[in-house]
Structure 1
Amino acid sequence: MTDIPYDLSKRDSEKTLCPLADPIGTSSAPCPKEYQICQSLPQHPTAQAETDGQIEANDVKVGNSFSERKKWSLLALFSFSLIVDQWAYTAYFLFTPAVSNEYSIPAAQQSWVINSYVISFGSTILLFGRISDLYPPSTVFTYGFLTLGLLNLIISFLPEMYSYFVFRAISGIAAAALIPSAFKLISGIFPKEQLGKALTIYSAAAPVGGGSGAIIAGVVDLIPYGTGQMSAWRWFSRILAVMIFIPAVGSIWWMPKDIGRDPSRSEESSRQKFIKLDLGGSFIILSAVLLLILSLTMGGDHGFNTAYFIAPFIISLFLFPTFLWYESRLPEGYPLLPPSIFKLTNVGVFLFLGLILFSWWSANLSPLFIIYLTYRGESGIAAGARLFPQAAASIVVTLLLARWSWFTHHPRYAITTGLTLAIAAYAVFSQSTDQVGTDYWKFIFPPEIFGSAGAMMVYSATNVGVMTAVPPSIAGTAGGLLQVSFQVGSALALGIQAGLFTIHDGYLANFKNVQISWYFEMGWLGLGLLVFLVGYRNVKKLSENVEVGH
């Protein structure tokens, strides 16, 4: 399939730039009739056409007239939503034993304390990407955020495990609404020269939230609340609900309603928009992703040679090509996943990196948490403190990349360096023997720092690469697709890792099993590096007037 840049030629034939237009949207000078064009429309964040030094307007409204304080405050809100989303996930690595004991959940079903949230999140995020492209993303974000807060409050009072699993799954759906809508809004709020920096900061919220969630949960777990309705995990959900409600309610009035909205959509009827949701394609891809993650989860719980794994895995493998075939038969503008998105330069390479990358954190955090809590007898906050350097390194790298954002705009440097550090980190991790004392400071702490820093470079460059390679009209879909890659890749790596934990007797108590899984992770990351080096196109200018920012 031939790579093509985002094509502005059709729009150029229909519109003429106003040479008097102020690129930051503050000029009130009138344009001659032959040059009139809506100045509030943004340029594409990567591809640009220049006329007398001015950048062409795009088809999605950008709030360039906003003050700097307003723009960065909105970014802080979006980043906070991603952090609390990660808290709702990682905190339950610590709370799973307490929830399982309280609800008398059998050992074979305890993984659903976490996976009920993860599976619904990963399988619906692409649909919310499409919704954010068709409807105002501000509305999708605000009400998704409010719903997430309400569901966390409800979860804190549930009396038995089945209702808990159901509402955790629904909360995963609410969380899935936040990420693609936030990507869409960020692409609409920030002009090209600030977009890379904004995406870098927003992307950093995921690993920062993942690392800090364990610390927050550990602090809550130290407080002697009691049992039953007064147990620590229930109070964590209530605290989380309050932390969500305050900014979510405020965003009803504070969030700009027209940012990221495609003006052409306003002419479409509700029926046209509903048809363009592509519910048929949505159902197919939702089923495919759900069954794939489910098969890997069940394989880890029951074995990969059982029907629990084989049946849903085979069905999911059939559904993915079925989805692509179905989408290719829809008229332009109607597919949930436009086939043309894969023709955009380097998008396919970045999406493959998404499948590879996110497992860097999950493949070490998951076994290390269990080792420290179960086999080393440490408290939740002590285990969280041991692993917090990964979040700290992500924060530092984010600050540096925000200051020198040119690095993420040169993926060949950022991704090659980052993946090399990430692979080296697992080489050092695997030399550990007991993960505490001197061994921790030699073989766990240092790779946590440089490995997480490297993974953060790749994560930021991948997010920026995808979101600046697509037109803003499909920014929500692109953001959702990238997150699906992260979730599916992480689930795939964790599923394989769970099987590797059983090679020798003793499960995680036998550290040889963990070492084998980390050798696999080194190969997994190495595959990503190889595909990137071979497949990435270092293209600066694809034509005289169209420029790619990588």
Structure 2
Amino acid sequence: MPIDTHTQTTTTPGTAAGAPRPASAAPSGDRLSRRAKLVLFVLCAAQFMVALDFSVLNVALPVLGRDLGLSRSALQWAVTAFALPSGGFLLLFGRIADLYGRRKLFLTGLALFGAASLLATLAWDPASFLTGRALQGVGAAIIVPTGMSLLTTTFPEGPLRDRALGISGTLLSLGFTIGMVLGGVMTDTLGWRSTMGLLALTAVSVLALAPRLLPESRTPERPRLDVPGAVTVTGGLLALIYALSTAAQHGFGGIDVQVTLVAGLVLLVAFVAVEWRAAAPLVSLPMLKRRTVAWGNAGGLVTFSMMSTVIFVLTLYLQETLQLSSFRTGLVFGVQGVASAFAGSYAPKVIGRFGARRTLIGSLLGQGLLTAGLLAVGAGSGALVATLAVSVASMFHLGAIVSYGLTVTSGVPDAEQGLATGLVTTTQQVGLTLGIPLLGVLATTQASLLHGVRTVLAIDAAIVIGAAVLVGLGLGRGGRAKR
């Protein structure tokens, strides 16, 4: 239900008489009311918290392993235990939110995430810590699609949604970047448990504000949940993300990686077959046939997977080739975060002038060209070149994030916004998981790390530039894709 840019309140369907009622109804102009700003703050804070969780623990893993008795080979599970459910259940929870209430499920996800973060903070052995991480992942899989669908159903298409998604995309990018810097500082000063404690406090703070601010939002009908579709797509995504996450650490030679990779692909093919016959499908196949949905998600998949690969190989380059400390490496990516924040403030204006389609294509092209510029890094120097190039590339990356989200959700009925945003966030998670195992391994298996880094950067740039061309051809001209 769109929020009014004025300050009056109106009734919300399903709200009891006398209960607090959120502001609502059609916008007037492109100014945000005070309540609309608070709603946006709550939704973006939740997204930022989840993005922070993806990276805040990375630099703390060695210390965490020694403290809890996790072996080096088992440390990957500190990341994988979160990544599996956070990516695997996104589509399922996005659809459940459409049917049974986005606000209700969003609050449930916040409560679960906060409790799981507290468990991870107080963990006394590997099992309790990994349980906390897995439950954090389930909470994230609820928060991300419900938060995004609440945003897109609260702010109507046009300047208000452009601005809201621009802010959300900026904080998403900042969350990953700040997590890398903040994780190192907090681990050195307060210990690794403080990183999980921060997430628990953030979840509690957002949960305290959300109930009075967020309107309920669901489809008017209550069709039956597509259980076969839910089982096959969730199982397929879980298997695929496990295979890719494990391959990032140990390569594709392991039998577990090969079996789960094949199983994931088979289940996803089975999911498509199930959806053709389902009376009330989990994913509307006609929706996947929309040019904006198909090609918008393709652009999002490329920008997330390829930018995560750039950050991975640059981390290796800065620390192992240039011998920078973890703190100084974090500062390099901190500059990237500032650049992302700058880009986020201008992305809606650019989209308003040129349209989401052109912004997406131009952003992919800019990201690819700047990635190619990183080939200039050398063994004796290059930190400054890397800092500047990755910072500007991240600005284009941020433009692609905002414009692909707008492209995918543009023109989709409110009744299917949970599904559309579930596709958007699933694309994000799979993209973040996909790039490093597919390309990052090339950097670590070459005789020279510098040669491996340059090889990965060259392939990365070629993929992004090629994607810009294909997305441009796929989206074509006219229609909703322009916005």
Question: Is residue 2:475 matched to residue 1:530?
Answer: no
Q: 1:440 aligns with which of 343, 360, 383?
A: 383
Structure 1 residues 298-307 or 322-331, which shifts more?
A: 298-307
Letter in 1 for 2:409: M
What letter corresponds to residue 364 of structure 2 in structure 1?
L
| Shift in Å, 1:40 | 8.1
Give the superposition deviation at 1:402: 3.3
Q: Which moved more, 1:141-150 or 1:293-302?
A: 293-302
1:10-29 alignment to 2 at 5 Å?
A: none
Q: Deviations over 1:104-162 (max 9, x none)?
A: 33333322221221121111111111011112211111221122112111101112223
The alignment status of 1:364 with 2:310, answered yes or no, reads: yes
- State the Cα deviation string for residues 209-247 of structure 1 (Å, max 9, x = none): 111112222331342x4xxxxxx1101211221122122
Assess if the C-alpha contact under 8 Å between 1:137 and 1:261 holds in 2: yes
Q: 1:216-231 to 2 correspondence within 5 Å?
A: 216-223=182-189, 225=190
2:180 is matched with which residue: 214, 223, 245?
A: 214
Q: 1:78 to 1:408 in 2, by over 3 A?
A: farther
Following the alignment from structure 2 to structure 1, what is the Cα–Cα distance between the partners of residues 249 and 429? Answer: 19
Partner of 2:207: 248
Structure 1: tracts of 5 or more residues without a match: 1-22, 29-37, 42-60, 226-231, 541-546
- Which residue does 1:391 correspond to in 2? 337
Please give the per-residue CA displacement for 1:365-400, whole angstroms capped at 9, x wherever unaligned.
223335555676655433211111222111111111
**Structure 1 residue aligned with 2:142:** 177
Please say which of residues 289-298 and 107-116 is displaced more in the overlay.
107-116
Letter of the 2:382 partner, please give it: D
Is contact 2:444-2:452 (8 Å) kept? yes
Deviation at 1:495, TM superposition (A): 1.1
Aligned to 2:157: 192
Q: Does the CA contact (< 8 Å) of 2:90 and 2:145 recur in 1?
A: yes
Residue 44 of structure 1 corresponds to: none
What does residue 229 of structure 2 align with?
281
> How far did residue 420 of structure 1 move?
1.9
Structure 1 residue aligned with 2:293: 347
- Structure 2 residue corresponding to 1:465, chosen from 407, 410, 430: 407
Question: Which SS does the other structure have where 1:358 is aligned?
Answer: helix
Structure 2 runs not aligned, ≥5 long: 14-21
Q: Equivalent of 1:422, from 367, 376, 388?
A: 367
What does residue 17 of structure 2 align with? none
Residue in 2 that maps onto 1:544: none
Shift of 1:183: 2.0
Q: 1:431 to 1:144 in 2, by over 3 A?
A: same
**Aligned equivalent of 1:235, options 187, 190, 194:** 194
1:336 to 282, 287, 292: 282
Q: Is the 8 A contact 1:86 1:210 kept in 2?
A: yes
Paired AA for residue 539 in structure 1: G
Q: Does the aligned pair in 2 maintain the 1:124–1:286 contact within 8 Å?
A: yes
Distance 2:81 2:457 in 1: 26
2:414 aligned partner, one-letter code: P
Change over 3 Å in CA distance of 1:315–1:163 after alignment to 2 = same
What residue identity is the alignment partner of 1:457? G
| Structure with greater helix share of residues | 2
Residue matched to 1:102: 67
Structure 2 CA distance for partners of 1:169 and 1:524, relative to 1, 3 Å? farther
Residue 142 to residue 340, structure 1, CA distance change in 2 (3 Å) = same
Whole-Å separation in 2 of the counterparts to 1:407 and 1:211: 28
Per the TM alignment, residue 533 of structure 1 is displaced from its structure 2 partner at its CA by 2.1
CA shift in 2, pair 1:454/1:378, >3 Å: same
Distance change >3 Å, CA 220–CA 313, structure 1 → 2: same
Question: Is 1:501 aligned with 2:443?
Answer: yes
Q: Deviations over 1:183-203 (max 9, x none)?
A: 221222223332222222222
CA distance in 2, matches of 1:119, 1:376: 34
For 1:287, the aligned partner's letter is: G
- In the alignment, what sits opposite 2:103? 138
Aligned equivalents of 1:306, 1:71: Cα separation in 2: 50
Structure-1 separation of matches of 2:168 and 2:193: 28
Instruction: Give the corresponding residue for 1:304.
Output: 252
Quick one: structure 1 residues 190 and 503, their matched pair in 2 at CA, closer, same or farther if it must change by over 3 Å? Answer: same
Counterparts of 1:25 and 1:429, CA distance in 2: 44
Percent identity at matched positions?
19
Aligned to 1:15: none
**CA–CA separation in structure 2 for the residues paired with 1:513 and 1:430:** 11
- Residues 360, 407 of structure 1: alpha-carbon distance in 2 compared, 3 angstrom cutoff: farther
Task: Output the CA distance in 1 between the equivalents of 2:230 and 2:475.
Answer: 29
Q: Is the 8 A contact 2:321 2:379 kept in 1?
A: no
Q: Does 1:63 align with 2:24?
A: yes
Normalising by structure 1, we get a TM-score of 0.79
Which residue of structure 2 aligns with residue 261 of structure 1?
218
The equivalent residue for 2:16 is none
- Alignment match, 1:515: 454
Q: Go from structure 1 to structure 2 and tell me whether the alpha carbon gap of 1:142 and 1:104 turns closer, same or farther (over 3 Å shift).
A: same
Which residue identity lines up with residue 415 of structure 1 in the other structure? Answer: L
Q: Structure 2: how far apart are the matches of 1:113 and 1:24?
A: 43
Q: Is contact 2:98-2:417 (8 Å) kept?
A: yes
The 1:143/1:410 distance shift into structure 2, 3 A limit, reads: closer
- When Rg is computed on C-alpha atoms for both structures, the one with the higher figure is 1
Q: Give the corresponding residue for 1:492.
A: 434
SS of equivalent residue, structure 1 residue 107 = coil
Q: TM-score, normalised by structure 2?
A: 0.89
Which letter does structure 1 place at the counterpart of 2:231? F
Kept in 2, the 8 Å contact 1:196–1:409? The answer is no
1:480 maps to: 422
Q: Look up the SS of the partner of 1:430 in the other structure.
A: helix
Q: Distance in 1 between matches of 2:166 and 2:285?
A: 27
Aligned residue number for residue 49 of structure 1: none
1:123 corresponds to which residue?
88
Q: 1:404/1:526 Cα in 2 relative to 1: closer, same or farther (>3 Å)?
A: closer
SS at match of 2:445: coil
1:175 Cα shift?
0.8
Q: CA shift at 1:284, angstroms? A: 0.8
Supply the distance in 1 between the matched residues of 2:241 and 2:49 (Cα, whole angstroms): 22
Aligned counterpart, 1:10: none
Contact 2:313 2:443 in 1 (8 A): no
Cα distance, 1:415 vs. partner?
A: 2.2
Q: 1:62 offset after TM fit, Å?
A: 9.1
- C-alpha RMSD of matched pairs (Å): 2.8
Q: 1:147 to 1:375 in 2, by over 3 A?
A: farther
Deviation at 1:522, TM superposition (A): 1.5
Amino acid at match of 1:286: T
Residues 306-315 or 347-356, more deviating: 306-315
2:328 aligned with 1:382, yes or no?
A: yes
Distance 2:248 2:5 in 1: 54
